[in-house]
Structure 1
Amino acid sequence: MTTREKGLWAAVIILTVSVTALGGLIMLRGLAKPGDISKDDGDHTVAEIGQEGISEEQWVAELKKRYGANTLLQMLNRKAVQAETKRLGIKVTQDDLQQVLEQESRGYASAQAYFEEMQQQFGLGPVDLRNEAEYRIGLEKIATQGIQIKEAEIDEYWKQHPEEFTAGKQIKLAALYVPKVEEAEALLERVKQGERFDALVQEFSGQPFGKNTSGQLGWVDEYDPFQPEAIMKAARELSSGDVAGPISVNDGYAVIYVQDIRLKASPDKEQIRQQIRRSLALAQAAPLEDVEKSLRDKYGARILSDKGVPSASL
């Protein structure tokens, strides 16, 4: 998988989180007993802190504001893709899913480690990831329907881009995040004076800063899209046992420690050829966002207002 494709997959994961969030709400509402919420009770409390409560109405409004439009659009996309794959007789096979899993988990110690990372960072379990992969594969097969890639084209691409298929490496990382550059410099100085980075990680572990939390990051791919690019760029230039910082991330700074480095296993030749064939076909196809829109139009997708009146076109 190329760095660009990894970035796209990261975006897909974020969108899947929003679908899962609202999906969970729908499930909870569906499980509610008829007597649990009165028809007139718009202030049904779903959470409390001290003497203050959060009503279901507030909860739903916040979820809709944050995720509503994208989630609804993605749900319509799934329906349209499902209808089109059925019409065309397109099947997503176990081999298709296994190949995607191997590509996505290649930057991790194992498939299990990949699942654990997705669960920890995004709250997505194996079933969620499988469903997203199945949707993405189906959409790509629709987009590339009828596109033929010659073996010579695959050979030429491989010859021109050998760096995309080299083994690459994984880096075992630990990181400390602080809000001020002076604090990062002080941490770096403590390491230079002989303090163990592991001890500092223990001291700062669990202290969140922005979207990041100090601690052991474990084995990560050298181009891992789920880590700040500034962190990975610095890590790629280090050797095992090196410490670097301060590194500007978000609104703060990081100090990182490369604990170890190892080479990744290379995919076999047939997997590489299949990957190139897929990439070349997608390059010739319409952008996937355009395919999704054309399918929504084809199957008459529309979003209704609260009163059931069609809103602006999709």
Structure 2
Amino acid sequence: MAIPLVVLLCACGVLAGCATSGEEPAARVNGTEVRQDDVDRAVGLAALSGQTLTRKQALQQLISEELLRREAARLGITVPAPAIDARVADLAQGLGGQAELKRRLKDADLTVVDVRRGVEAVLVGERLQAAKFSGLRATRAEAEEYYESHREQFSSPAAVNMGAIVVRAEGIARNAIERIEDGQEFENAARQFTIDPEGRYCGGMLGWIATASLPPELAAAFEEMEVGELSEPVAVGPLWYVLKLFGRRAARTTPFAEVAEDIRRELTAIKEAAALTEWVTEARERADIEILL
């Protein structure tokens, strides 16, 4: 059977108007086309990770990725399938599992292949960054300077692991204390007595809370308590609290020696990323880029 001429022309890209809008180029980078549907996919993939990109922003990202891809190919840098598999698995876990990833992909009209391509582009950038700028290393002196100017990042305040039952009257608070002293579990008493919705849900177990963030009345009560002890009723405004101290943690600043290498790694990554950004800027200036979007 003879194939209609119009089909042959469309297949060869000769007949104007045969290509779908998604196949039309949004840009050309040194002769390589970035298609409209590539831009749409980039917008959708960004949304998966909680980012919002306009189509123009996505196009600029794809142009940079094309320049990175070319440079990686020139240097012989490749990304093996297991590395892509691992990163996709991390993405799925972050979203709540493979089923949730598939649901979101379906809602966004994307496929796992789209995700793998996006992940591959990210990994290419990471490997290229490491290969081109492996000589950039933050010094111990730079790490120590960062530590001294950001000590709050390495400090944890004094805190208590607390339980609390919140009621509206002292008599109710004393009733709760009697129940606990007679053998009722603190968590059960909290679910029975507390008016705090969160406390009712978690059985009054509020976890570790910085002492400085507590109302002064509660902080003062905890100062007088031993671990495992139950408080007398404590008035805070119109409410009454029954407290239990499950643990106490003193304020602490992590010594520089314990975090020095972590800081150096972070600062090194920042240096490498800045160098790669500068390289991309220069590569864009040298490239023949035609924006069609």
Pairwise TM-score range, normalised by the shorter structure: 0.3 to 0.5
When normalised by structure 2's length, the TM-score is: 0.35
Which structure's CA Rg is the greater one? Answer: 2
